[in-house]
């Protein structure tokens, strides 16, 4: 009889624990990403008053079952519905995230990692993505730039805090234009094409400091069908000031000793003005006498005392600083009937004194040889073939030939080469430095056409290739942040660029139910859940994904909880009756003495 009293007590205790679980579930019915719990009961223990026995053929008796009296119940297990997804709550906050799938966000308090399904995040004062309820940092992977290709990508190594709104990320660095495309129709009967002014084609581009410029080209018709001449006339900055210095890009043409035409420089180099003011930019010498080159408004070159050139025994081209005596030159000695191809004005180092290096550009002979010239007008003599200089023109007046197939109207090549569909715009400073802000721009003409378009040409130039790469841009300020369904975080900027800021990592466990609750919507890994490797996974690798502007709600089902509460109440009530009835029986037993 006493056993029934204690069985009733154990039943009361067990149902009390179940009521505690139900109460906690109902209390967290509106807790973000809360996972409901359930409890199961198990028998406490049994008192065996008679052991079981088997049949006995000798005595002819049958076997008997054991006689066992139970001593009550106890809590068997408390389980968490960790994989049961909660409903979706829309918040509109860009940093509120919901995981679809069985993974967990990784957060850290600086000394250890914790895990949560609560995706209510914010950005703190220093730009870290953090958990709203605890302030713990959200962990993930940071972008890295390949030094060879410049490509930015995520490397999934050990998780780190995501400082997505750092001072560095608030702006997007300017980028120099490296690609351009000329498209549209070039009509040979266009009055601009056949006229002296030519068809204007302007191309906007950026240097790597974010300053914008416009290259002004014109296309002119020729006497040959399908052949046109395209030349660069000027490059202007955003203030409409020219940055081309025509003196420093002079080409010398003439004849060699056999009378054949020779070009001192085969390919034009465009030189740009910079902070260095050079008064006597270009000089030539005949027989040791200096002559200053004059370029008129039409780009034609004249030279004082020009008649002396026929009797010249030495020829030198040089450019110098404000002091005419401090110029640097290459000298050709014609007295021994030799010549070295010269003519492109070459750039010196930034320092006015000491040694300076001139490098012959590609297209001249020798192509790779270097000359060292020293402050003061020290000459360097070189050998080669005889050249009589008899004509001059500026680089800005130089041109390329572009050709089109007369049968199809499609672009075929540049300067007679069918394999060449693009040419470069290469801008170099007067004084060569390591900080040249310009990149060579490859201008692709393969998409241009030569058709009849009612005497109207639509040909135009734009920065970037046909896929939009290499356009260049100015400095950009952040206008927003977006988070992709794979956890990639991108910044958007007012210069049209986007920047990869990081990726949110998640953790997955072989037995997520084995995680230990820590409060504040946090879980901790245990031996039974499986350990976290410190790296994490991409949320999409297991079929999950992230949603922004929404949160996961509690998965508590109130109807089930109320039903469980009713059965718990009745169970508790029934167990209390065991105690009262047992007490009544004991009372009757005591009353037998009367």
Looking at the domain assignment, is residue 156 inside a domain? yes
Clarify whether residues 510 and 531 are in a common domain: yes
User: What 3-state class would DSSP assign to 249?
Assistant: helix
Residue 458: predicted pLDDT: 95
Looking at the domain assignment, is residue 380 inside a domain? no
Task: Kindly tell me the burial class for residue 377, based on how many C-beta atoms sit within 10 Å of its own C-beta (0-12, 13-18, 19 or more).
Answer: middle
Clarify whether residues 79 and 102 are in a common domain: no
| Cα distances (angstroms) measured from residue 132 to each of 122, 381, 521 | 6, 76, 11
Looking at the domain assignment, is residue 231 inside a domain? no
- Residues 106 and 108: their CA atoms lie apart, in Å, by 7
Clarify whether residues 44 and 119 are in a common domain: no
Q: Would the pLDDT of 254 be above 60?
A: no
Task: Give the least confident one: 210-224, 243-257, 310-324, 372-386.
Answer: 372-386
Clarify whether residues 104 and 167 are in a common domain: yes
Q: Specify whether the CB–CB gap between 356 and 373 falls below 8 A.
A: yes
Q: Would the pLDDT of 426 be above 90?
A: no
Looking at the domain assignment, is residue 424 inside a domain? no
In the numeric block, the tokens 């999950």 are attached to 544
- Residues 39 and 77: their CA atoms lie apart, in Å, by 6
Q: Specify whether the CB–CB gap between 444 and 465 falls below 8 A.
A: yes
Residue 434: predicted pLDDT: 57
Residue 277: predicted pLDDT: 31
Q: Considering the chain, what percentage of its residues have pLDDT values greater than 70?
A: 72
Residue 594: predicted pLDDT: 66
- Residues 188 and 224: their CA atoms lie apart, in Å, by 11
Task: Name 201's bridge partners.
Answer: 217
When pLDDT is cut at 50, 70 and 90, the band that residue 18 belongs to is very high
Clarify whether residues 563 and 547 are in a common domain: no
Clarify whether residues 515 and 578 are in a common domain: no
What DSSP line would sit under 193-238, residue for residue?
HHSSS-EEEEEEEE-TTS-EEEEEEEEEE-SSTTEEEEEEEEEEET
User: What are the tokens at 512?
Assistant: 């997520």
Task: Give the least confident one: 26-30, 307-311, 321-325.
Answer: 321-325
Looking at the domain assignment, is residue 271 inside a domain? no
Alpha helical stretches, state H, 295-397: none
Looking at the domain assignment, is residue 141 inside a domain? yes
Clarify whether residues 165 and 105 are in a common domain: yes
Clarify whether residues 92 and 152 are in a common domain: yes
- Buried b / exposed e across 323-340, counting CB within 10 Å, b at 16+? eeeebbbbbbbbeeebbb
Q: To the nearest whole number, what is the mean pLDDT of the chain? A: 77
- Reported in sequence order, the residue ranges of 37-87 that DSSP labels E, i.e. its strands, are 37-43, 46-50, 67-70, 73-80
Clarify whether residues 569 and 541 are in a common domain: no
Phi, psi angles (nearest 5°) of residue 57:
-70, -30
Clarify whether residues 92 and 168 are in a common domain: yes
Task: Give the least confident one: 57-61, 431-435, 479-483.
Answer: 431-435
What DSSP line would sit under 539-561, residue for residue?
GGGGT-EEEESEEE-----HHHH
Check residue 363 and report its DSSP letter: T
Q: Would the pLDDT of 139 be above 90?
A: yes
Clarify whether residues 546 and 569 are in a common domain: no
Residue range of the domain that includes 137:
88-173+477-552
Q: Global pTM?
A: 0.66
Q: Would the pLDDT of 370 be above 60?
A: no
- Reported in sequence order, the residue ranges of 51-207 that DSSP labels E, i.e. its strands, are 67-70, 73-80, 88-90, 97-100, 104-108, 113-116, 121-123, 129-131, 137-141, 143-145, 152-154, 160-161, 171-172, 179-185, 199-206
Task: Name 473's bridge partners.
Answer: 175
In the numeric block, the tokens 């197939």 are attached to 405
Q: Would the pLDDT of 298 be above 90?
A: no
Residue 46: predicted pLDDT: 85
In the numeric block, the tokens 């068997």 are attached to 76
Q: Would the pLDDT of 160 be above 60?
A: yes
- Residues 502 and 524: their CA atoms lie apart, in Å, by 24
CA within 13 Å, CB half, 249: 25
Task: Name 152's bridge partners.
Answer: 145
Residue 422: predicted pLDDT: 87
In the numeric block, the tokens 């020779």 are attached to 262
Residue 143: predicted pLDDT: 95
Residue 398: predicted pLDDT: 54
When pLDDT is cut at 50, 70 and 90, the band that residue 100 belongs to is very high
- Residues 594 and 251: their CA atoms lie apart, in Å, by 138
Residue 483: predicted pLDDT: 97
Looking at the domain assignment, is residue 373 inside a domain? no
CA within 13 Å, CB half, 524: 9
When pLDDT is cut at 50, 70 and 90, the band that residue 150 belongs to is confident
Clarify whether residues 506 and 542 are in a common domain: yes
Check residue 163 and report its DSSP letter: B
Looking at the domain assignment, is residue 196 inside a domain? no
- Residues 111 and 374: their CA atoms lie apart, in Å, by 63
What's the number of domains the chain is made of? 2
Q: Specify whether the CB–CB gap between 115 and 133 falls below 8 A.
A: no
User: What 3-state class would DSSP assign to 567?
Assistant: helix
């Amino acid at each position: 009889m006493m056993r029934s009293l204690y069985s009733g007590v154990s039943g009361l205790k067990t149902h009390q624990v179940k009521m505690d679980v139900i109460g906690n579930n109902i209390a967290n019915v509106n807790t973000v990403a809360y996972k409901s719990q359930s409890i199961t009961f198990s028998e406490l223990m049994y008192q065996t008053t008679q052991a079981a026995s088997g049949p006995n053929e000798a005595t002819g008796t049958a076997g008997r079952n054991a006689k066992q009296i139970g001593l009550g119940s106890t809590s068997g297990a408390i389980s968490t519905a960790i994989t049961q997804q909660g409903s979706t709550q829309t918040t509109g906050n860009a940093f509120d995230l919901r995981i679809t799938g069985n993974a967990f966000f990784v957060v850290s308090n600086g000394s250890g990692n914790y895990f949560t399904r609560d995706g209510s995040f914010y950005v703190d004062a220093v730009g870290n993505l953090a958990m709203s309820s605890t302030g713990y940092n959200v962990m993930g992977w940071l972008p890295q730039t390949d030094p060879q290709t410049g490509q930015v990508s995520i490397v999934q190594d050990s998780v780190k805090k995501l400082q997505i709104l750092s001072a560095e990320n608030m702006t997007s660095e300017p980028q120099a234009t490296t690609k351009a495309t000329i498209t549209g129709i070039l009509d040979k009967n266009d009055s601009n094409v056949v006229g002296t002014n030519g068809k204007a084609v302007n191309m906007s581009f950026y240097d790597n400091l974010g300053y914008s410029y416009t290259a002004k080209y014109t296309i002119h018709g020729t006497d040959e069908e399908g052949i046109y001449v395209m030349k660069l006339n000027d490059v202007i900055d955003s203030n409409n000031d020219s940055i081309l210095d025509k003196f420093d890009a002079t080409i010398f043409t003439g004849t060699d000793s056999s009378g054949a035409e020779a070009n001192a420089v085969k390919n034009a180099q465009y030189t740009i003005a910079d902070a260095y003011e050079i008064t006597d930019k270009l000089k030539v010498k005949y027989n040791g006498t200096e002559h200053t080159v004059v370029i008129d408004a039409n780009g034609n070159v004249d030279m004082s005392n020009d008649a002396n050139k026929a009797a010249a025994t030495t020829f030198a081209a040089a450019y110098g600083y404000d002091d005419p005596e401090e110029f640097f030159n290459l000298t050709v000695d014609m007295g021994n009937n030799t010549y070295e191809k010269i003519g492109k004005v070459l750039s010196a180092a930034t320092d006015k004194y000491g040694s300076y290096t001139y490098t012959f550009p590609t297209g001249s002979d020798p192509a790779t040889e270097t000359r060292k010239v020293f402050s003061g007008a020290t000459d360097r003599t070189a050998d080669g073939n005889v050249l009589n200089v008899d004509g001059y023109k500026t680089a800005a007046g130089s041109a390329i030939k572009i050709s089109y197939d007369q049968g199809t109207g499609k672009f075929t090549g540049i300067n007679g080469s069918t394999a060449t569909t693009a040419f470069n715009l290469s801008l170099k400073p007067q004084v060569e430095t390591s900080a040249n802000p310009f990149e060579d721009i490859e201008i692709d003409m393969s998409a241009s056409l030569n058709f009849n378009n009612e005497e109207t040409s639509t040909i135009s130039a734009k920065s970037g290739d046909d896929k939009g790469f290499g356009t260049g841009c100015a400095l950009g300020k952040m206008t927003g942040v977006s988070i992709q369904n794979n956890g990639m975080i991108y910044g958007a900027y007012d210069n049209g660029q986007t920047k990869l800021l990081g990726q949110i990592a998640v953790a997955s466990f072989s037995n997520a139910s084995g995680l230990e609750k820590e409060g504040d919507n946090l879980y901790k890994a245990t031996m039974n859940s499986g350990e976290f490797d410190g790296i994490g996974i991409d949320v999409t690798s297991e079929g999950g994904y992230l949603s922004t502007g929404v949160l996961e709600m509690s998965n508590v089902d109130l109807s089930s909880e109320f039903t469980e509460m009713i059965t718990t109440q009745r169970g508790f009530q029934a167990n209390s009756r065991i105690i009262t009835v047992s007490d009544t029986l004991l009372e009757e037993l005591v009353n037998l003495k009367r």
